[in-house]
Structure 1
Amino acid sequence: MSKEVQMVSSGVAMSAAGRRMDRLRRSVLGLSALLLALAGGTGVSHADAKDPGEIRFSVTTATPDGPDKRRIFDFVAEPGAQIQDQVAVSNHGAGPVTFTMVTNDGLFTPMGKFDIRTSDQEPQDSGGWFEVQPTVDVPAGETVIVPFTITVPENATPGDHPAGIVATVTSASTAAGPGVGVESRVGVRVNLRVPGEVTPSLALTDVRATYEPSWNPFAPGSVRVAYGVTNDGNLRVGAEQQANVSGPFGLGDSTIDRGTEGIEELIPGTSRTTAFAVAGIWPVGPVTTEITVTPVPVSTGGAVDVPIEAPLEPVTVAVTTWAIPWVQILLLAAAAVLVIGLRDNRKRKKQRLEALLAKARAEGRAAAGTEDVDQGKSGATAPVATAPATSPAGTAGRDDASAGADAPSSGA
């Protein structure tokens, strides 16, 4: 079974509106998702009552005698050379179908799936080096061999030039509304390498590291790492990735070997972003994250595997982020507030107790002073009450005096 690429996109069927509807159709096609499977597949297009039925078809590599067992087209050609080959277009439906043959440059979707430029985009590279008949009529249940020719320009640059050749058919779709159709596209990937000075090279872009604390103050957090990888060389390569995260003085050093995860293949001039988390990182201040990517050869199972003799140089970028222990700080702050509150509460209780004791002492002293005053008043009146009493001696004196005063009278 040959290596096929399959894609389905929505388009707007032509109507009497002419150019306006044509522009609308191209816009819808440009925004459609084109899925290119690297394994063999079959295109399916559901037709309405005016069509003969469900359209099912496939496109495979082929010899002049029929489909062969190649998975993809894999060519190596010098500048100025010509390559002749063929694809087999098979109609698995119940009625005849006229397919449109399209070639264009290869690319990868953000999800890492091989794709080609949409039909409304002009080829910028090897997608424009093909010569193939514009349409092919395939009867129901039949297979037609379609030859094509690739002419490598004299000024073609060394390196990889991916492309694809597809068969397309547009059928009406009542589900999408009047005048709207579905374009089904099935094709085969083409790998074309031009010999010469090749450079397998990768670049790291927009490297970011963010610390994500754990809400458990007694558990470590993690560092979220994101970066872009750009193939700035001229060969398709994968990206071997390694990340090292460590705190001050190497505290919590952790190394993650990701292999080619997320970037199994990157064609020249394209970029892809990836992200992952490194767990077990304690918030101890500045954390250094070091990302290293190394280009590695890739194989898509083609008939020709060209070894890469150029050196595969790694590239490293380091960034620093601050791992601040916010959760622990909040916990300490809460503990400090609790301690201060308890201390202030004890202080207030002590102050209230001392105030009560002072009040009690003051009341005691006031009560004791009142008793002393009362006792003092009672001691002062006793002598006054006894002072007028006539002592015997005083009375006798006064009587003597009286007697003395009367005596002369008696003598006279």
Structure 2
Amino acid sequence: MKALRLVVAALALVGVTALAAPLPATATEEESPVTWAVSPADESGPDGRSWVELELDPGEAATEHLAVRNFGDREVTFALTAADGYFTPTGRFNMLPSDTESVAAGTWITVADQVTVAPGGTAVLPFTVQAPEDATPGDHAAGIAASIYTESADEGAGLGVESRVGFRVMTRVTGTVQPGLDVDTNPNYVISWNPFEPGMIELEYTLENTGNVRLSVSGSVEHGGSTYPAPDSEQALPIELLPGDRRSVSIQVPDVWPLGPVMLPLTITQGVIAPDGETETLDPVELEVTAWAIPWPHLIIILALALVIAGLFWGRRRRTKQIEHLVDEAREAGRREAAQAPPRDDADPVADPRS
């Protein structure tokens, strides 16, 4: 029986916050685990940045550094790769897996194929970002990572795991900045199971970055004197959209009685994220969303009761008409019988006294 070979990739990239705890990966069952971290650096070592932000003209190149830290107790050789970057539906930054070919900013990065790091040591390597001559203005996302590949065999099945840790590399190509945002709304009223309590509206809206630069976006709804989500809640935090990104967001608006159309003022705040991390505020997008709060279950029950009552009423009228019809037929039959009967002579013959 041929051995089954399965490859699994695991990736931990820097997103909005600093690099998380190093991702552990076990080389083999006999060897100690390998833990490591990768971060932006200068020539002397990690410089405290979470990721790399560059601004380049078309055709311009820049040299940056990365630091690979080996927290294990043995020497490890790491493979170094770069790939196109993207945000997942949950808002986490990621890069294409190693078996998927990059076609955008991931191809702009040149880095060594591998690096060997001593136990407890740190290796600092340069990498180059070269913007093509025909690079379009705006933001371009990529990621760079250090990885190890481990394999174990269990009863004839081979299991391979590629574990990667890295950070993102954002490049702003100079030129005309054109922010753009499309908003598509889909409100849905959720009725309460208790007819004496209000329901809620689930307002789902989809954001699409139609421009060429990153956007910081957040949305809120006003209803009944309150703002949803609450300004100090985690849901109120802005999300980041790369050019071309689409993201769906849901807001729950409670305490809505099913009394027909409900107007919900939706405000989308937006801003352009500059290469230095600052956000330039844009005019908000303001929409009036109409949600139909219709008590369909209640209306169905009322309709059913109305049909039952109408059925009873109609049945009673029908039976009354049937009885009236039978009485009329009986009367008509009596009249016909009376008209068809021969006349009767009730006088008795008188005897002639002369006889």
Please, what TM-score do these two structures have when normalized by structure 2?
A: 0.74
1:33 deviation in Å? 6.4
Q: Quick one: which amino acid aligns to residue 166 of structure 2? A: G
Deviation at 1:46, TM superposition (A): 1.2
Cα deviation 1:87-114 (Å, max 9, x = unaligned): 1112222222111111112211111111
Amino acid at match of 1:294: T
Shift of the alpha carbon at 1:336?
Answer: 7.5
Indicate whether 1:182 and 2:161 are aligned: yes
Are the equivalent residues in 1 in contact too, given 2:10–2:163 (CA < 8 A)? no
1:44 equivalent to 2:24? Answer yes
Q: Residues 202, 306 of structure 1: CA spacing in aligned structure 2 closer, same or farther, 3 A cutoff?
A: same
2:190 aligned residue: 212
Task: Report the more deviating stretch, 313-322 or 141-150.
Answer: 313-322
Q: Give the corresponding residue for 1:281.
A: 256
Give the deviation of 1:138 after TM superposition: 1.7
Measured at CA, do residues 240 and 307 of structure 1 come closer, stay the same or move farther in structure 2, by a change above 3 Å?
A: closer
- 1:112 corresponds in structure 2 to 91
One-letter amino acid of the counterpart of residue 272, structure 1: R
Deviation for aligned residue 1:305:
3.7
Residue 148, structure 1, aligned to residue 127, structure 2 = yes
* Alpha-carbon distance, 1:167 to partner: 0.5
Indicate the residue corresponding to 1:225 in structure 2.
203
Match of 2:294 in 1: 324
* Residue 61 of structure 1, aligned match among 14, 37, 40: 40
User: 1:152 deviation in Å?
Assistant: 1.1
**Cα displacement (A) at 1:312:** 2.0
Rounded to whole Å, the distance in 2 between the matches of 1:313 and 1:280 is 30
- The 5 Å alignment of 1:287-306 reads 287-298=262-273, 304-305=276-277
Paired residue for 1:256? 228
- 1:315 is aligned to 285
| Deviates most, 253-262 or 173-182 | 253-262
Q: Which has the higher Rg, Structure 1 or Structure 2?
A: 1
* Structure 1 residue 59 displacement after superposition: 1.0
Counterpart in the other structure of 1:235: 213
Partner of 1:397: none
- State the distance in 1 between where 2:71 and 2:225 align: 58
Are 1:122 and 2:97 matched, yes or no?
no
Alpha-carbon distance in structure 1 between the residues aligned to 2:241 and 2:131: 22
Structure 1: give runs of 5+ residues left out of the alignment. 1-15, 246-251, 344-412
| Structure 1 position 211, deviation (Å) | 1.3
Please, which runs of 5 or more residues in structure 2 have no aligned partner? Answer: 314-355
Shift of 1:143: 1.5
Shift of 1:174: 5.3
Cα separation, partners in 2 of 1:65 and 1:156, compared to 1, 3 Å: same
| Structure 1 residue 194, shift from structure 2 partner | 1.6
What are the within-5 Å matches in structure 2 for residues 88-107 of structure 1? Answer: 88-107=67-86
* Contact 1:201–1:312 under 8 Å retained in 2: no
**Partner Cα separation in structure 1 for residue 253 and residue 156 of structure 2:** 49
Aligned equivalents of 2:225, 2:72: Cα separation in 1: 60
- Tell me how far 1:188 sits from its aligned partner: 1.8
CA RMSD of aligned residues (A): 3.5
Contact 1:88 1:146 in 2 (8 A): yes
Specify whether residues 46 and 254 from structure 1 end up closer, same or farther in structure 2 by C-alpha distance, changes over 3 A only. Answer: same
3-state DSSP class of the match of 1:265? strand
* Contact kept? 1:35, 1:113, Cα under 8 Å: no
Output one character per residue of 1:348-370: Cα deviation in whole Å (capped at 9) or x when no partner: xxxxxxxxxxxxxxxxxxxxxxx
Matches within 5 A, 1:347-386: none
CA contact (8 A) 1:200 1:234 kept: yes
Structure with greater helix percent: 1
Mapped contact 1:107–1:114 kept (Cα < 8 A):
yes
Compute the displacement of 1:291 (Å).
Answer: 3.4
Give, as a single letter, the amino acid of the residue that structure 2 aligns with 1:46: T
State the distance in 1 between where 2:154 and 2:55 align.
45
Q: Which amino acid aligns with 1:239?
A: V
**Percent identical across equivalent pairs?**
37
Structure-1 separation of matches of 2:178 and 2:206:
19
What amino acid is the match of 1:109?
A: T
- Whether contact under 8 Å (1:202, 1:293) holds in the other structure is no
Please, which moves more after superposition, 258-267 or 156-165? 258-267
1:273-330 Cα deviation digits (max 9, x unpaired): 111221122212233445342322447xx8x34664xx72433555544322245446
Q: TM-score, normalised by structure 1?
A: 0.65
Tell me the SS of whatever aligns to 1:127: helix
> Higher mean Cα deviation, 318-327 or 129-138?
318-327
Distance 1:210 1:196 in 2: 42
Matched residue type, 2:47:
D
1:137 aligns with 2:137: no
SS of the aligned residue for 1:269 comes to coil
- The structure in which a higher percent of residues are strand is 2
Q: Compared with structure 1, are the counterparts of its residues 82 and 196 closer, same or farther at alpha carbon in structure 2 (3 Å cutoff)?
A: same
Report the equivalent of 1:269: 244
Q: Hey, what's the Cα distance between the residues in 1 that align with 2:143 and 2:214?
A: 15
